[in-house]
Chain A
Amino acid sequence: MDIGFIGLGLMGRPLALHLARAGHTLHLWARRPASLEPFKDVDARCHVSAAAVAKHAEIVFTMVADAPDVRAVCLGADGIAAGARKGLIVVDMSTINPNAAREIGAALAERGIDFLDAPVSGGEVGAINASLTIMVGGRPEVFAKVQPLFEKMGKSVTLIGASGAGQVAKACNQILTGVGVLAVAEAFNFAARNGVDVAKVREALLGGFAYSRILENHGQRMLDRDFKPGFKAWMHQKDLRIVMEEAHRLGLMLPAAAATAQLFNAIVGSGMGEEDSIAALKLLEKLSSADQ
């Protein structure tokens, strides 16, 4: 199959390579030529624009930073819509505002282009190992066509609902992981400041109702003081901003997410944006001490 892929960063690159290795022909376009280097040895053709990619592909995947990027790639000058034939499927794997996803989907539908929002969870490691969780929103018949490709990229692939539903699921994922990381960091700081062995607290709690994968995995990295990403704090900050925008649009109260979003602002503001989200622990330590 001729497949377009736009957005060849940390996440997009390994996913595109999985599709090439499965025997598909890739059509690529990138702002920076260096992004195309890893595709020299696979069946991949480079084009001058997103529109040109769309002209040659049956399905185009996008994996970019935020809603304005998705909008520009899909609907901008020389964007996908400008080159697409009727029946093209656009699959956006970026994490963006659910409402923005619905709007982009509707704008593409007006031009006879199908759209799925398919954000992922699992980070760079999950992308490389093709073990991502993929949460999809869109029409079932469109999902059915893309599903075999999703299965080359992820282990858990779920059609959540209509357009935007994948982004809603991802937003819920970010609420739980954001609040969860902060909760573990608070518990660890609380134990440490009480002079209690944090490793033993974690071990004991893993056996009870406070068990979570975050307590297990992120907790261990906090103990090891291994702050390498993983998932970068600035991306979590961005995702929580999306959550709060959507909550505001709907008139929803999310007090724990709101507090967490503020602390992620503080993590990024303190210059720890490029570290893993577990830098939350360092922030709490700093704010609970006389350190400046």
Chain B
Amino acid sequence: MRIGCIGLGGMGGPMAGHLLAAGHELHVWARHRAANAEFLLRQGARWADAPAELARRCELVCTNVTGGADVAGLAAELIEGFAPGGIHVDFSTIAPATARELAARYAARGVDFVDAPVSGGTAGARAATLAIMWGGRAELAARLDPLFRCLGKTVVHVGPAGAGQVAKACNQMVMVAAIEATAEAARLAAAAGVDFTKLREALMGGSAASRVLDVFGAKMAARDFAAGVAARLHHKDFAMLMAEAARDAVPLPVAATVMQQLDALMAAGWGDDDTARLLCVLEKCGA
């Protein structure tokens, strides 16, 4: 398949590489021809001078950028290039409402928009072990599944356009709430003079065991706050989540509290660190 890729950073770079390795004809465009783009071009990817040019050449274009405004900006250019039947697969994490709007705008031109946010971080992108949750027309599954299988282990069609982003918002809500819960356990243990390393070990054998307690608990125990995923990205996701909750009038009391802790984390200047920094927010209220 002729596939275009935009957004070749820590996530998008390795993902494009996997598509190329699987034998697809890869075309790329980037605002700046950085190291990841050059690497792909050396492997046989072809350069396009503009997003619209990329869409003209490809049946399917993947985007992997930061926010909804970035995706909407690219979509406005891509739509000028796509032939009817084209597909825009967006792997970014954006608001479900934005995904729905883009899908409607594309549908008027006979182009599909698929929201396919991922979970698993840069390690998952490199190892092709991502969880991919996608929203869009179910009929696209036959064409998309083989591509998604090059990138991730868990691929789930959640529902129509926007459903993938709803799933991702829920993913972020559950995960960051668990990070906060882990931080609170670590803080409570420390205040009571209990060794959190041992506590974590004990808890990992019981009902409270989780991947977050395992991975983020270990980071907190080691006081290693170097980012896997930068906390400011979770902070951004929570703003979207709370906006969605307000739109649908759904109370999310735990998520609202977690968002306050993330706000304090940002205020402290830790946005580029790991979200395990939530522990340090709690420590700010200690003697």
Contacts and interface: CB of A to CB of B under 8 A. Distances in A.
Contacts of B264: 287-288
Contacts of A255: 253
Contacts of B286: 269-270
Contacts of A286: 284
Interface string B255-279: 0010000011001110000000000
Given A255-B253, A259-B257, A288-B264, A269 B269 contact: no
A77 to B, nearest CB: 32
B287 interface: yes
A290 B264 CA distance: 9
Contacts of A217: none
B285 A266 contact: yes
B257 A283 contact: no
Contact of B285 (A287, A289, A290): A287
B178 to A, nearest CB: 18
A292 interface: yes
Given A255-B253, A259-B257, A287 B269 contact: no
A133 B17 CA distance: 73
B262 to A, nearest CB: 12
A287 B257 contact: no
B284 A271 contact: no
B95 interface: no
Interface string A251-292: 000010001000001100111000000000001001111101
Contact of B281 (A269, A283, A287, A289): A287
A259 B267 CA distance: 20
B285 A270 contact: yes
A271 B284 CA distance: 11
Interface residues of A, number: 14
Given A255-B253, A259-B257, A289 B267 contact: yes
B253 A287 contact: no
Q: Kindly name the residue among B253, B263, B284 whose own CB sees the greatest number of chain A CB atoms within 10 A.
A: B284
A269 B287 contact: yes
A265 B281 CA distance: 14
Interface of A: 255, 259, 265-266, 269-271, 283, 286-290, 292
Contacts of B257: 259
Interface of B: 253, 257, 263-264, 267-269, 281, 284-287
A143 to B, nearest CB: 40
A266 B264 CA distance: 13
Report whether over half of chain A's contact residues are helix, strand or loop; otherwise say mixed: helix
A90 to B, nearest CB: 37
B268 A290 contact: yes
A292 B287 CA distance: 11
A255 B285 CA distance: 21
A147 B267 CA distance: 53
Contacts of B263: 288
Nearest to A284: B264
Nearest to B270: A290
Contacts of B268: 289-290, 292
B2 to A, nearest CB: 49
Nearest to B265: A287
A287 B267 contact: yes
Contact of B287 (A265, A270, A290): A270
Nearest to B282: A266
User: Which 5 interchain pairs have the tightest Cβ spacing?
Assistant: A266-B285, A287-B264, A290-B269, A269-B285, A288-B267
A266 B257 CA distance: 14
A284 B75 CA distance: 41
B218 to A, nearest CB: 24
A292 B253 contact: no
A288 B268 CA distance: 7
A287 B284 CA distance: 7
Contacts of A265: 285
B263 to A, nearest CB: 8
Contacts of B281: 287
B150 to A, nearest CB: 43
5 contacts: A259-B257, A270-B286, A271-B287, A287-B281, A292-B268
B189 to A, nearest CB: 15
A292 B284 contact: yes
Contacts of A290: 267-269
A270 B263 CA distance: 19
A292 B284 CA distance: 6
Nearest to A283: B285
A286 B287 CA distance: 13
A290 B287 CA distance: 17
A272 to B, nearest CB: 10
Nearest to A270: B285
A266 B285 CA distance: 5
A255 B255 CA distance: 13
Contacts of B253: 255
A256 to B, nearest CB: 10
B194 to A, nearest CB: 17
B82 to A, nearest CB: 44
Contacts of A259: 257
A265 B267 CA distance: 20
Contacts of B284: 270, 286-287, 292
